[in-house]
Structure 1
Amino acid sequence: MASISNQDIDAVLAHVDRSLDDSLARLFELIRIPSVSTDPAYRDQCRAAAEWLSRDLAAIGFEASVRKTTGHPMVVAHEKAASAPHLLFYGHYDVQPVDPLALWTSDPFEPRMEALPNGDTAIVARGASDDKGQLMTFVEACRAWKSVTGKLPVQVSMLFEGEEEAGSPSLAPFLDATADELKADAVFVCDTDMWDRETPAVTTMLRGIYTTEIEITCADQDLHSGMFGNAARNPLQVLSDIVSSLRRTDGGVAVEGFYDGVKELPDAIKALWKRLPFDEEAFLGDIGLRDPAGEAGRSVLEQIWARPSCEINGMSGGYTGEGFKTVIPAKASAKISFRLVEGQDPQAIRDAFQRHVRARIPRDCSVSFRDYGLSPATVMPIDSPFLTRTLQALSTEWQCEAALAGTGGSIPIVGDFKRRLGCDALLVGFARFDNRVHSPNEKYDLSSFHKGIRSWVRILAALAD
């Protein structure tokens, strides 16, 4: 398709501005449907939300349908355009439970507008930010293009799921079954944050994850520490020795082979990150800390975005109740998580960790492992034209350089898109860090909703070449 004219873009943006109240009214309709995916009592409401989205997309010309899964349904929609890139847009219509209800200042499913001290206005309701407000920014951008020009600049498919807050159990099999239908040139996910209040961001780096629990057993019963102390092996001591062996003195992870395949951060990315308005001291100071941990000589951003990690998430064993009990426990356990980066094989990391642990288990003790999650890291190539043009479009709308960000967290669904559809994913979100996502009084700023719609208008135009 030929380049979209500035005149067309300006006309569509003007329509977005004029129609903001109508866009808000549609968002409020969707928010009022209490689509809580984790509670079986809301099963019908989850389906109602899927059906609402399907009808709304059909009303603007998409071929839309509600698809059955073993859980809550998927919404799939297509709008074809000749000779244009094919984009797949992903969002989720399910929301978190509202508990504790007493902490809400109003009905969680009756959206209200609240003036903010900074002059903005907040949309307060469950799902306002995660993910109904974000999802609808893209839908409203498509609606504006169709209303003004009668067509979209690019070919668009949409996939909205209803189980993201429940771990997306139906997504992988659904992608396998619909791979030919949903395969696209790129996937866009709108479920992330801006860099700061005025700086948009594209997240292109997601760490993978391996989560596990180890349990060490020594004696076949709890023992009296006066009668058996020194002579009997203490599993808490064994566990402590193993945990302390996981880190080197320089802060790196000591598991043999852990860094196999890990590459240094490209200079271009380092340069981009150095330009970001990020204060390391304030980042740690805000949580009551001062000195960076982890690998010596690496920046905080590099450590949380681009380096693998090993963290102890919990340890238990023995007596921890009120008072004191002089006991040597029979068992001790620890929950441990590894965040992984590009080049690391999660299976190989699991095997290396288990070897590391087993090598430190005394011969009259035993260890068992229980794995909870295993997924690789995902990275969008920085020379991708989809990324370059998206950054340019965001920078134009927000009148500042858009940030190219990573994230320390893991979003397994992005890996599913890569493995099952062969599509790289860009995460473009307009939430702010104070949106109280998953908490009482969740909000989405009106400026995020309005400029989010305008941003997608520009991104769709930028990708039309």
Structure 2
Amino acid sequence: MSHLQSLNTYFETKREVHLDELKQFLRIPSISAISAHKQDMKTAAEWLADSMKKIGLENISIDETKGQPVVYADWLHAEGLPTILVYGHYDVQPVDPLNLWETEPFDPQIRDNKLFARGASDDKGQVYMHLKAIEALLQTDGKLPVNVKFCIEGEEEIGSPNLPDYLMTNTDKLAADIIVISDTGMQGPGEPAVCYGLRGLAGVQIEVKGAKSDLHSGLYGGGVQNAIHALVEVLDSFRDEEGTIQVEGFYDNVIPLKDEERTAYASLNFDEDALKAELGVDALFGEKGYTYTEQTWARPTLEINGVFGGFSGEGIKTVLPAEAGAKITCRLVPNQDPDEIVAKLTAHIEKYKPIGVSVEITEFDKGKPFITPFDHPAIQAAGRSYEKIYNVPTAYIRGGGSIPIVAAFDEILGLPVVLMGFGLSSENIHAPNEHFHLENFDQGLRVIGDYYYEIAQFTKEDLKK
């Protein structure tokens, strides 16, 4: 019997048991952002550790950090074969607004072959799939085809503030050949995708200050700088009419897209007209010379996220605002450094700042971009495993968003990162009625199990980045 036949039989037999166990995990309100759930975080970590022990993992530890603990486990008996480090997180987002949930967020319910609960898709359901794939392999074969380590944290939803220190302190403990993360999504229903790159992030707040207080527009208008006008002048200088960023040196380190990548993106036949209809706009807008997928996956951005200042209440108030501000974020692509981009933004703002005002810049979220070459053996192996189970070609994509800790794994441990996600964009992650499509739970278990066999075909040398 082939390993896929064995996995099919095992997962079919154990499906209800596995879903009941996952529901236990989902009932724990492990909300890292709310201090009142500190005990729930501990309970979730202990539940994970206990589950790891039951399936046969070894060297299990709940490692304390300055915040929430990291749960570690391993199985290291495949001598000479590669080691996979599986990363995930057991913390979840807050559930507000509670009144929009159709059922209680921590009372898992199955409707229309979807499992509804906070954390069902992001990320408890996907972490749990890796545990059950390991269980199935140990139960059917008595061993694993490769070595495996787990690093499951409890602070991803608050930006993983303590994980980089944990990684640097435990580099030997976490040593592996590749990192596998199932905390992303597929291209669409029945359309598997391997994400091989994510954009980074640099965020700032600009505050423009003019006179020491708001001024009467009749007495002072035309003679004193208006802080909002000054802010608008600065903001307008960031991009030209075609969306190209005008900050000096912004594109200097951007790595051009390979022809093979552009061909792969074009083969997805992305429907821009359908997107326009979905969004309710008559046209898309982006950097000239690039398609929508290229613009949102592989090109950097500079976006104004919010503007504040002056009077915005009912009616009108005839003042010259003394202060105004804006929040800016840049999505960055491989080889762009967040600190360098913030420095270039700062220089640009000083250059284009109008007379009569001062400007203060406050730095916010920063995260480095990440990429593993899409022709890397571990990436292509993931595509083959998806195709065996879903029976359709795998898409190789980049993600437009940012998961800063992925770049930290890449930078600190220096390993190829494989993003094998099974979620869908429609699953309301971070929102009321989060859910996980169970067809992807079922098929994903088989994909993960097969992937371990795929990686066993490579030597450690093959997998070096």
For 1:282, the aligned partner's letter is: A
> Deviations 1:45-71 (Å, cap 9, x if unpaired)?
111110011011111221211111111
Aligned positions of 1:168-247 closer than 5 A: 168-247=160-239
Helix, strand or coil for the counterpart of 2:219?
A: helix
> Deviations 1:284-305 (Å, cap 9, x if unpaired)?
2211113221212210000000
For 1:389, the aligned partner's letter is: A
Partner of 2:65: 69
Q: Which of 39, 42, 58 is 2:37 aligned to?
A: 42
Helix, strand or coil for the counterpart of 2:352?
A: coil
Rounded to whole Å, the distance in 2 between the matches of 1:298 and 1:130 is: 31
Question: 1:106 aligned to 2:103?
Answer: yes
Partner of 1:118: none
Aligned positions of 1:333-412 closer than 5 A: 333-412=325-404
In the TM superposition, residue 283 of structure 1 has moved relative to its aligned partner by: 1.6
* Native 8 Å contact 2:233 2:354 kept in 1: no
In the TM superposition, residue 75 of structure 1 has moved relative to its aligned partner by: 0.3
Q: TM-score, normalised by structure 2?
A: 0.95
For 1:68, the aligned partner's letter is: E
Q: Which of 11, 19, 24 is 2:19 aligned to?
A: 24
For 2:170, the aligned partner's letter is: T
Q: TM-score, normalised by structure 1?
A: 0.95
In the TM superposition, residue 277 of structure 1 has moved relative to its aligned partner by: 4.1
* Native 8 Å contact 1:306 1:406 kept in 2: yes
Partner of 2:420: 428
Partner of 1:416: 408
* Native 8 Å contact 2:237 2:352 kept in 1: no
For 1:218, the aligned partner's letter is: G
Partner of 2:4: 9
Rounded to whole Å, the distance in 2 between the matches of 1:21 and 1:42 is: 29
> Deviations 1:287-344 (Å, cap 9, x if unpaired)?
1113221212210000000111110001111111122110101111111111111122
In the TM superposition, residue 140 of structure 1 has moved relative to its aligned partner by: 0.6
For 2:38, the aligned partner's letter is: R
Greater shift in the superposed pair: 375-384 or 333-342: 375-384
Helix, strand or coil for the counterpart of 1:11?
A: helix
Rounded to whole Å, the distance in 2 between the matches of 1:90 and 1:131 is: 10
Partner of 2:322: 330
In the TM superposition, residue 272 of structure 1 has moved relative to its aligned partner by: 1.1
**Paired residue total:** 455
Question: 1:437 aligned to 2:429?
Answer: yes
Helix, strand or coil for the counterpart of 1:87?
A: strand
Rounded to whole Å, the distance in 2 between the matches of 1:73 and 1:262 is: 36
* Native 8 Å contact 1:435 1:444 kept in 2: yes
Helix, strand or coil for the counterpart of 1:158?
A: strand
> Deviations 1:244-282 (Å, cap 9, x if unpaired)?
111123320000111102132111111111111420121
In the TM superposition, residue 110 of structure 1 has moved relative to its aligned partner by: 1.6
Rounded to whole Å, the distance in 1 between the matches of 2:454 and 2:219 is: 76
Helix, strand or coil for the counterpart of 1:181?
A: coil
Partner of 1:97: 94
Q: Which of 13, 28, 31 is 1:33 aligned to?
A: 28
Helix, strand or coil for the counterpart of 1:409?
A: coil
Rounded to whole Å, the distance in 1 between the matches of 2:255 and 2:141 is: 46
Partner of 1:263: 255
In the TM superposition, residue 427 of structure 1 has moved relative to its aligned partner by: 1.1
> Deviations 1:196-221 (Å, cap 9, x if unpaired)?
10011111110111100011111111
In the TM superposition, residue 174 of structure 1 has moved relative to its aligned partner by: 1.0
> Deviations 1:87-122 (Å, cap 9, x if unpaired)?
11111111112222222222221211112xxxxx01
Partner of 1:3: none
Helix, strand or coil for the counterpart of 1:334?
A: strand
RMSD of Structure 2 on Structure 1 (CA): 1.3
Partner of 2:47: 52
Rounded to whole Å, the distance in 2 between the matches of 1:8 and 1:231 is: 80
> Deviations 1:222-262 (Å, cap 9, x if unpaired)?
11000001100111111101111111233200001111021
Helix, strand or coil for the counterpart of 1:308?
A: coil
User: Unaligned stretches of 5+ in structure 2?
Assistant: 458-465
Rounded to whole Å, the distance in 2 between the matches of 1:386 and 1:431 is: 20
For 1:157, the aligned partner's letter is: K
Partner of 1:129: 121
Partner of 2:74: 78
Rounded to whole Å, the distance in 1 between the matches of 2:414 and 2:390 is: 31
In the TM superposition, residue 41 of structure 1 has moved relative to its aligned partner by: 1.3
* Native 8 Å contact 2:224 2:356 kept in 1: no
* Native 8 Å contact 1:260 1:343 kept in 2: no
* Native 8 Å contact 1:183 1:422 kept in 2: no
Helix, strand or coil for the counterpart of 1:332?
A: strand
Rounded to whole Å, the distance in 2 between the matches of 1:174 and 1:287 is: 41
Partner of 1:87: 84
* Native 8 Å contact 1:212 1:336 kept in 2: yes
> Deviations 1:134-156 (Å, cap 9, x if unpaired)?
11111111110000011111111
Partner of 2:307: 315
For 2:14, the aligned partner's letter is: S
